A and B are shown apart, each in its own frame.
Chain A
């Protein structure tokens, strides 16, 4: 399949309820030379520090951090949308934050990250939708698909909450619908092509 041979520049991941476990599972399979930058929008309670950086750090060689304004997106690093901020990607592949109103009742919103990232990276972007109990991300993943990026959705029957994967599948007809272990394997394959 052409899309597997393509060289990618970044990965965006959207997750909500049940996403913490899912992200942990995927990251625990990362091989050492996993070098694509990863940007994550995970819905969490506002005013609460995310546990995510701590959880993912043990599986990463690069920096895992809450995204800060104007950070330059760098290979091997993991950027997490800070609680109560939208995470956007600028055309020059740096990070922008925003506190504009909630989108799909969410801030950070997965749609906002996916749409702006797909405009910056076009077909060199991988987008992944994981477990969640709402439909944020469905539009975003369809934008990635439209711009010929690679789209992956966690299989609904393997997700703790299947609403978000189902909405994403319906909106975008993604390239892959996979279990968490399969997603991990696929990501490692993509990276080794770099």
Chain B
């Protein structure tokens, strides 16, 4: 067998695995970016000492705890508080004034992971005197990570980095006002959680979540193929009220989607878009 055939056969194995996951558990990874998906599955295969991906198929079908490990492998949960501080600075300057024009507004964090960015936005809203007037929704397809988001407990050793980010993002107070320290961890203060509704939602299979004024979905779309990105961007378009904001990751964009012309670019580097009033 030559190398080209080998690569093609491995792609076939990946395809069959994802099909099995979908048929057995209902989670649909078939339209995820394929290089990434293959790497994550290979990572699990190597950890388990399995000879090839085909051997993983049996385990995946019969052993639900094994599937849950693979589910975690496939959902990437690397993020931080005030990730890309300059982005949060722009949110404060460009998005918050718009939210202020409403008596009551809704903000959706789609694919919220362990909640770091949800609390970041919560802090911004608190400092802008908007906390009582904004309902935040935080959703993820992974129940385990969603529970972590709800707890809002983060390792102490990350706090130095979070604090620096907070300051660079134009924080008006002291970052330590927002958490209580507990040995090796910090716990986000209760008042930041009061305005957030944590809920399970799968961008791949579920529908419109509600009419939102702003949607955050940062570094989630990079794991999807172009087809699925298009579906999800349409979902966001449908979920936004006219004039509402869409905030993506700094290396993502909407130019390959068929809603591209329905948004205007508000901040190019920050990837902040605004739904046009048609």
Contacts and interface: CB of A to CB of B under 8 A. Distances in A.
Interface of A: 66-70, 82, 85, 88-91, 94, 96-101, 112, 115-116, 119-120, 122-123, 146-148
Contact of B223 (A89, A98, A112, A115): A98
B76 A98 contact: yes
A89 B10 CA distance: 16
A95 to B, nearest CB: 9
A85 B251 CA distance: 9
Contact of B222 (A66, A98, A116, A119): A98
Contacts of B36: 88, 96, 98, 100
Nearest to A143: B3
SS class of chain B's interface: helix, strand, loop or mixed?
Answer: helix
A146 B6 CA distance: 11
Size bracket of the B interface: 20 to 34
A68 B255 CA distance: 11
Contacts of A116: 35, 39
A100 B251 contact: no
Interface of B: 3-4, 7, 10-11, 33-36, 38-40, 76, 78-79, 219, 221-223, 225-226, 229, 249-253, 256
Contacts, number: 71
Contact of A96 (B4, B33, B256): B33
Contacts of B4: 122-123
A69 B40 CA distance: 18
A147 B2 CA distance: 9
A69 B251 CA distance: 6
